[in-house]
Amino acid sequence: MYEKTNNHQFTTAAIQMNSQQDVEQNLTDIKAAISEACQQGTKLVVLPENCCSMGEQFATAERFDELSATIADYANTYGVYVLAGSLPCSYRPDGVIVPDGRLRQVSQLFAPDGTRVARYDKIHLFTATVADKQGSYNEAATFEPGTQTVIAPIETENAVYQLGMMVCFDLRFPALAQRLRQAGADILSAPSAFTYLTGQAHWALLLRARALDSQCMVIGAAQGGDHVYKNGNIRQTWGHTAITAYDGTVINSYDDSTLNDTLNNTAASETNKNYALVTAAFDKQSQEQSRQKLPIFDCHRLA
C-alpha cells in the first residue's frame, strides 16, 4: 500500500472542470483553480482535456497562441507548474500547418516563470461507438495524431521530477505508459474528457492499471457533467478526477461526475465553485523503493 513519508515529496493537483463553450468563463475558472491549488502548496497543477472549451475546436484553435499565453501567465503569476490539459492547434510542433483541414490536440507544460517546458500532441485518437446521445466518436475526423512521446522535467528546490505526458484515450494503451517509464518518467499526466458511459466502465481501472504498468503516479484530471453545445447538443462526461500512486492505490479523488453535488475533503469547500480540486503528495523515495522491490522493468522482454 502507498505510505506517506516526508522525504522528497511535492504536492500535485488535479482539477475537475465542467467546461462549456464560454472560453472567458472557463479561463476565469482555470485561474481560480490554480490560485486555490497554490494556496494549498501545490507545485504542479494539471487541468483537464479541452480545458478552455468543450467543442468549438476550430474556433478555439484560432486562439491557440493567445490561450496558451494566458495559461502561461497564470503559471507565472502563481509561481507553479501548470499543465494545460489540451488545446486544439492548427500547426505541428515544427510550425507546419496540419494538412487536410485538421488540427492537433496539444497538451502543454508551463513552468513557474511562464516559459513552455514541453508540448505533447495526443497520439491516440478516440474512436468508439457508445450508447449515448452522440452515438459515435471519431477524433481522427478533426485531429491528426501526434507522433512523438514526451518527457518533461519539473524542477523544485530539492529535486527534478520527470513528467510523462498523455491525454485521455492514451490511457487505453499500456505500451505508451511503459515507454514513458522507460524514458525516465516518475509521474504520468492524464488530462481527460471521458464519456459518461466509457468513464463509468473503465476510468478508475485505467488510471490504476497504467500506474501499475509504469510504477508511476498517474494524475487524472477530468471533465465532468453536462456540456451544452451551441447547436443544442449535450455531451455528458464522467468526471471522477483522481490521483493514483505507483502501486495502483488511489491517493485522492473527487467521487462524482458533476460539481457541487458531493462535497467532501477532496473537493471545493464552497458550493459555488466551478471546479473541484484534488491534491496528493508525490513521494519519489517510496516509489523508488517499490520499484527496487518489484523490478518489473528489469524483467521486461517484449518492448
> Minimum mean pLDDT among 205-209, 216-220, 260-264: which range?
260-264
Distance CA(117)–CA(105), nearest Å, equals 17
Q: Residue range 117-125: average pLDDT? A: 98
Please tell me the predicted confidence (pLDDT) of residue 271: 52
φ/ψ of 237, rounded to 5, equals: -115, 160
**Active site annotation includes 38:** no
Residue 8 inside a domain? The answer is no
Catalytic residue among 122, 139, 144, 284: 122
Residue 268 inside a domain? The answer is yes
Closest of 188, 164, 189 to residue 83, by C-alpha: 189
Please tell me the predicted confidence (pLDDT) of residue 5: 36
Q: Residue range 271-282: average pLDDT? A: 90
CATH number where 29 lies: 3.60.110.10
Catalytic residue among 36, 38, 43, 49: 49
Residue 133 has pLDDT above 80, yes or no: no
**Number of structural domains, the chain?**
1
Please tell me the predicted confidence (pLDDT) of residue 303: 63
Cα-Cα-Cα-Cα dihedral of 257, 248, 169, 73, to 10°? 70
Residue 1 inside a domain? The answer is no
**Active site annotation includes 168:** yes
Please tell me the predicted confidence (pLDDT) of residue 281: 97
| 3-class state of residue 20 by DSSP | coil
Closest of 42, 87, 89 to residue 219, by C-alpha: 42
For cell 521486461, what's the residue?
Answer: 300
- Label residue 9 by pLDDT band (50, 70, 90): low
pTM of the entire predicted model: 0.93
Residue 2 inside a domain? The answer is no
**Residue 247 neighbours by CB under 8 Å, 6+ apart:** 1, 2, 211, 212, 215, 290
Domain span at residue 61 reads 13-299
Residue 265 has pLDDT above 80, yes or no: no
**Active site annotation includes 216:** no
Residue 293 inside a domain? The answer is yes
Q: pLDDT tens for residues 56-65?
A: 999 999 999 9
- Label residue 132 by pLDDT band (50, 70, 90): confident
* Strand duo 160-165 + 187-189: pairing: parallel
